[in-house]
Amino acid sequence: MDKRRKHIAVLVSGGGTNLQAIIDAVECGKINGDIKLVVSNRKAAYGLERAKNHNIKSLYIRGDGEYSKSYDKKLEEALDKEEIDLIVLAGYLKMISDSLIKKYENRIINIHPSLIPSFCGEGFYGIRVHEKVIEYGVKVSGATTHFVNEVPDGGPIIAQKTVIVDDSDTKEDLQKKVLEVEHKILVESVRDFCDDKLEVVGRKVIKR
């Protein structure tokens, strides 16, 4: 099996706390890989600053309006240049093109702040997810990592971890709880991928 250090790209749109969790894990030797590139579709995303603080190449690509057509090409060129093995979507709020999904089949990992298939898909992102969880009155929520396919939040599930939803929880309280488990399972999923331990069999991801 290929045990060389994997080349990782992390795509962010906001603060990048999940990015930071991966950076920390790489730097302390928990992950057999290196973050070669951090990309954001938002110029003000603090995740870009986190990358710079750790001497990681960072790139802002404008992808709105007239720039949307050229976005995918620029992104793919940047990934090719760094010979990326794994793409991690860490709070990335732009849709991934079908061509990129096909090219990186089972090599794009997303983190979602609910227990998929509940509270996921189009329109379910950020704190809105936790708001809907509380409105519905469920007693357990959590986070999910999955491989990305053409269906929003619809790819094979890698890992899930639960949190208790207390009656007194606000959406902000729940967001904080879930974020803690997001960091944990995202790092574990990236680690397992880089150790060649994940095999996709139909809808199932089997850890070897």
H helices of 82-153, where?
98-103, 127-136
Number of folded domains that form the chain: 1
Tell me if 150 is assigned to some domain: yes
Q: Which stretches does DSSP call E strand in 95-172?
A: 108-112, 140-147, 157-164
Say yes or no to pLDDT of 26 above 50: yes
Instruction: Tell me what the mean pLDDT of segment 181-197 comes to.
Output: 98
Q: Which domain covers residue 46, as residue numbers?
A: 6-207
Q: What band does 1 get if pLDDT is binned at 50, 70 and 90? A: very low
Residue at 92 is within a domain: yes
Question: Which entry of 7, 54, 112, 183 is annotated as an active-site residue?
Answer: 112
- pLDDT tens across 123-161, in order? 999 999 999 999 999 999 999 999 999 999 999 999 999
Instruction: Calculate mean pLDDT across residues 15-36.
Output: 97
Q: What is the CATH number of the domain that holds 83?
A: 3.40.50.170
Active site (annotated) includes residue 146 = no
Asked if residue 1 is part of any domain, the answer here is no
Residue 42 lies in a domain: yes
Contacts of 159 (CB under 8 A, 6+ apart): 144, 145, 185, 188, 189
Q: What's the mean per-residue pLDDT of the chain?
A: 95
Residue ranges in the chain assigned as alpha helix (H)? 17-27, 46-53, 68-81, 98-103, 127-136, 171-194
